[in-house]
């Protein structure tokens, strides 16, 4: 009963994690567009922001793979933390130092268009930051849930094996008791036969 509840909660968390991973994947792909539109080829800051998006995309792929195979947990967590940290720095750079970021991006576009694109990129990074945090928390929760489910299965397996051993021991004990009773009954029957036989011989000898 407890294991089924745990399995249901794990399934719900897995579905929620898949949903958040999918949204994160969409946001990561969308975050590439503003930087590409600002300037191509990108400057060093633009390249850094592209790397942030690529790391987020990679973490989403690893997240999907990890959910399917239950492997790469440490790799996924490491990528999530790296991506989350990079997103934080990107948000701080674009939000707190917008003018210097615009000058470092060196966009050939109209300043207003460039500012809109930078703010759009900052907004997407903020959404990615929140989503990445949710994915990170849910990934840890799912992993913990899977470990608990595995432990519960191990406990159930041990209990089943223990019950099986007890049942086998009880059956063996009952069979030994039955064998002892049968031997006792046969012994009594043999004694009765011997008594009857010796009684008849004694009676015949007495009559003779």
Residue 26, domain member (yes or no)? yes
Mean pLDDT of the chain: 79
Residue 189, domain member (yes or no)? no
More confident residue, 8 or 119: 119
Give the model's pLDDT for residue 208.
Answer: 52
Residue 185, domain member (yes or no)? no
Give the model's pLDDT for residue 181.
Answer: 76
Number of structural domains in the chain: 1
Q: 137 pLDDT exceeds 80? A: yes
- Residue 129 confidence class, pLDDT cut points 50, 70, 90: very high
Between CA 199 and CA 197 the distance in angstroms is: 5
Give the model's pLDDT for residue 127.
Answer: 92
Residue 178, domain member (yes or no)? no
Q: 57 pLDDT exceeds 60? A: yes
Residue 76, domain member (yes or no)? yes
Q: pLDDT digit string (tens) for 152-178?
A: 667 677 777 778 877 877 777 777 777
Q: 41 pLDDT exceeds 70? A: yes
Percent of the chain having pLDDT more than 70? 83
Range among 38-47, 48-57, 148-157 with highest mean pLDDT value:
48-57
Between CA 23 and CA 59 the distance in angstroms is: 12
| Peptide linkage before 41 cis (omega within 30 of 0) | yes
Residue 154, domain member (yes or no)? yes
Residue 9, domain member (yes or no)? yes
Helix (H), strand (E), coil (C) string for the chain: CHHHHHHHHHHHHHHHHHHHHHHHHHHHHHCHHHHHHHCCCCCHHHHHHHHHHHHHHHHHHHHHHHHHHCCCHHHHHHHHHHHHHHHHHHHHHHHHCHHHHHHHHCCCCCHHHHHHHHHHHHHHHHHHHHHHHHHHHHHHHHHHHHHHHHHHHHHHHHHHHHHHHHHHHHHHHHHHHHHHHHHHHHHHHHHHHHHHHHHHHHHHHHHC
Q: 180 pLDDT exceeds 80? A: no
Give the model's pLDDT for residue 7.
Answer: 62
Between CA 94 and CA 121 the distance in angstroms is: 8
Q: pLDDT digit string (tens) for 3-39?
A: 555 566 677 888 888 888 889 899 989 988 888 888 8
Instruction: Give me the domain span that covers residue 84.
Output: 2-161
Residue 198, domain member (yes or no)? no
């Amino acid at each position: 009963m407890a294991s089924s509840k745990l399995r249901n909660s794990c399934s719900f968390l897995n579905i929620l994690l898949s949903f958040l991973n999918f949204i994160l994947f969409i946001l990561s792909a969308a975050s590439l567009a503003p930087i590409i539109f600002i300037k191509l080829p990108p400057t060093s800051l633009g390249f850094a922001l592209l790397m942030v998006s690529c790391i987020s995309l990679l973490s989403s792929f690893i997240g999907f793979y990890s959910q399917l195979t239950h492997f790469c947990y440490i790799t996924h967590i490491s990528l999530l933390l790296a991506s989350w940290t990079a997103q934080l720095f990107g948000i701080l750079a674009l939000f707190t130092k917008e003018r210097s970021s615009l000058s470092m991006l060196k966009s050939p576009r109209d300043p207003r268009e460039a500012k809109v694109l930078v703010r759009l990129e900052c907004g997407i990074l903020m959404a990615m930051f929140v989503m990445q945090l949710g994915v990170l928390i849910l990934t840890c929760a799912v992993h913990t849930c899977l470990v608990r489910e595995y432990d519960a299965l191990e406990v159930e397996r041990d209990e089943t094996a223990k019950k099986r051993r007890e049942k086998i021991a009880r059956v063996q004990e009952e069979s030994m008791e039955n064998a002892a009773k049968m031997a006792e009954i046969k012994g009594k029957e043999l004694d009765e036969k011997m008594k009857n036989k010796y009684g008849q011989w004694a009676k015949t000898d007495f009559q003779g």
